[in-house]
Amino acid sequence: MHANLTRRVALLSSAIALAFLSATLPTVAVAQGEYEQTLLAQKATPVFAQIVIYDVLPGREAEFEKLIALGAKGGAKGSEFINDRVLKNIDAASPQYATYTKFGNAGTAQALTTSRITAVRALLRRDAESHLAQMDKVYTPKGELNAPNGRELGTSVGQIAHLGLFLPTPSRVEDYYAALYKVKVHTLNRKPRGYIGDELLIETQRNTAQLQAPYTPRPREATRLSFNYGEYKKLEDAEDSYVDRTQETSPEMITLERTFYSALQVPNRFYIFKVIGNS
């Protein structure tokens, strides 16, 4: 069973890679600066998310799940805490987890997440990777939301979640976001089976390359991480959606995907999880 799932994960990863084959396009020069901040400043009520990836010691998974399930709410007051998802990598050969926790206050998010990481540190094979981001847009079958409240994807468990981390080149960041938004609208129009939604987030500030990519290739230029968190009801639904995208023949979509990926400094990271906790 585990071998079969591992093969499916490998096939799915290949489909994702094929769906987004990168091609070098002419660079469009834009003014250097904090373009991302102009996007985030438009949010009257900002929602922050702490995204943490944990690589757990083999054999310690049950202990980790018990501790992490205690939640991240801690001493957060009222609207400071929004919700918390605990995610488990679907590859049984990889004892990897993530938490995706939303808050109404950035300071609270950082303080409570630090405490949570400390509680499980002895169960990890290396330091947890943690990022603070602000929500940008949300896409659900109902449409596109420019002012999300962080609760749009619901409270269910058992669904499949994907998490993508992207590091755009500063001079191409406008191209990157323009293409990203159009691709997500295209996903809505395709109406994939089992689609729950996508959430786009942007790192709250430019951090060091070591913090942004502690265990993977690092960017040469200071930038902000871009995150894509999405959910499908079943693994088969996610597989079908990704595979369908590999068969895309629209010249516009092919151009958008090439623009998107040619704007990145380093290859993207893409994880596939199952939601095992949602509070």
Provide the domain limits for residue 56. 2-278
Q: Report pTM.
A: 0.86
Residue 70: the pLDDT is 84
Query: How would DSSP label each residue in 97-153?
Result: EEEEEEES-HHHHHHHHHHHHHHHGGGBSSPPEEEEEEEEEEEETTEEESS--S-TT
For residue 144, the model assigns a pLDDT of 96
Report whether 96 contacts 55 (CB < 8 A). Answer: yes
Counted domains in the chain: 1
Where the chain has pLDDT below 70, the residues are 1-33, 72-79, 245-247
pLDDT at 259: 94
Closest CA relative to residue 271, chosen from 159, 128, 162, 157: 162
CATH code for the domain in which residue 91 is found: 3.30.70.100
Q: What confidence score (pLDDT) does residue 123 get?
A: 98
